[in-house]
Structure 1
């Protein structure tokens, strides 16, 4: 088995997406990949229980990728062994009218995980520098005082927005949130295959929308925006990881492995010691219950 190291996938310097791989199998069969993931899920579950008892860190997992990159199934397979009360998933769609009455980060702030819990963002605050950058007319719906027309959504506007996102992530990191940002790097050919599968299988029809094809026509623009966003915002306290997404089983194993490896570095995450006064009377409490 090819050793999995988080450092090999962490983005520590400016990258070109064209140079990053979209396929990995770690020299394992699909069955073995799934078996390895099952082992890591158990370890993550135990770690999350300890984190809950420790109560000083939260974990934020951010998933971004093109349509059909496998975000939903990855969430299901990676986190299904965690205590249901210990992981909260948020899927961010088009902002509601209430959300538009606040700044664009508001709905992400209020969805952040509490200490001791995992929060998973299925699409994230980065939609605000990806979809809106490809479709700058969407910014007009945010009711921003300084934006009167699409012409105002210029380079200076995006510079400011990236600064705000970096500040947001630095603030929550300094206050105990451990941040993972995963870019599910899907090839255009694999997306075509997955879209065709949605059309060919009746039980997949509900996943398809004609808009998927319209967005696919903007593939190159999206790749350009993803590359710029990753390069501007991959920081030591909030790193991006390139996750080759053409092989779903390997992508799931990789995400789980990175989370476990990085969290293991927090050696202060331990279950709190029992109060010495209570500990001294454990035998007494046991006897009391046994004698009922």
Structure 2
């Protein structure tokens, strides 16, 4: 079942229908209905081991919780995946005395929404403070399309972890690839060359529609040089309050980086590292990746506020 471009609210009870998709057996495992344990970066509902990106986001969440970033109790997760990150933020919010949690999750992949729904509704704490108020809403949608349709006046905390790579001939997945899309086209000229068109569109449209007290936790890969990342944030209308978490992660085997080859603007010598943490040139990193050799890059979590 491929994404068709609609903004469609997830309906509880749809989980088992997803078993008829090509991902059937894997989705079955993800929902605790089978024996397999993982699909790509996502694991079963017990919140087992996972990729470094998610670990860093939860580290960032822990680092900012005591500053009151989550005290509104309102959360918008764009690229929600299995929901484990916003789940952490909600728990910390409740620990600080918030008693009415409002959660919105958006993802292009309906099976991920099914998993996040399962994770939220099987959590006794979230059941108490989200479920009783009917404040959990999940949407199968492009993040920009969702903001344009439903985001006006949003005030709270946004979590943004979206595709940041280019692919062709079927490379990558919806979790990896910054593909062209009608609602992103205003950002093609400036940002497609960096695989940032989706991030630029989301940040800009959210800034145009959100309240002044909104905060955002934005995840960006260090594969792209820092000055380009800084420009993305600034041009989108946000102030960077701080980098609240950063760390080195293994380059995903299924995320293409061949589009970066031969690009002087994407080769500053500090974007990729070999398995021993030695910095390597981008072109060398591409060759190693193609040959199946392990490489690493840094990931940064930014805390933003509207400018």
**Which protein has the bigger strand share?**
2
TM-score (normalised: structure 1) = 0.28
TM-score, normalised to structure 2, is 0.27
Structure having the larger proportion of residues in helix: 1
| Larger CA Rg, structure 1 vs 2 | 1
